[in-house]
Amino acid sequence: MDNTDGGSRRTIHIGNLNFRTNEDTLEKTFAKFGKIINVYIVSSGGRSRGYGFIEYENESEARDAISAMDKSILEDNEIGVDFSQKRIYCKKILRFWRSKKISP
């Protein structure tokens, strides 16, 4: 995957998520904009940190999601949606970071 800074712009960041919003809800909400490769809500101690990431198959799908969903309401919260400024946070990488006690 080439999702480092300056790389592919297929990954979006979703901020201000309701702490009850889960990955299934996020995927169902954003699937109408294109094929989703990965969905991840960042959590700590089993509790959502209020933001997550979605990786789409291509940039145009990500752009469509940003245009339609930025400043929209999802489960009672106004969310902010934009291109991610960091590499994709896939579950496999996060498990590695946690096991090595390295911060992403």
Q: What is the value of pTM for the model shown?
A: 0.76
> Domains in the chain, please, with CATH?
11-100 (3.30.70.330)
Q: Give pLDDT tens digits for 26-56.
A: 999 999 999 999 999 999 898 999 999 999 9
Q: Which residues of 63-95 are buried (b: 16+ CB within 10 A; e: fewer)?
A: bebbeebeeeebeebebbbeebeebbbbeeeee
Q: Give pLDDT tens digits for 59-80.
A: 999 999 999 999 999 999 999 9
- pLDDT for position 3: 40
**What's the start-to-end Cα distance of the chain, in Å?**
16
- pLDDT for position 101: 43
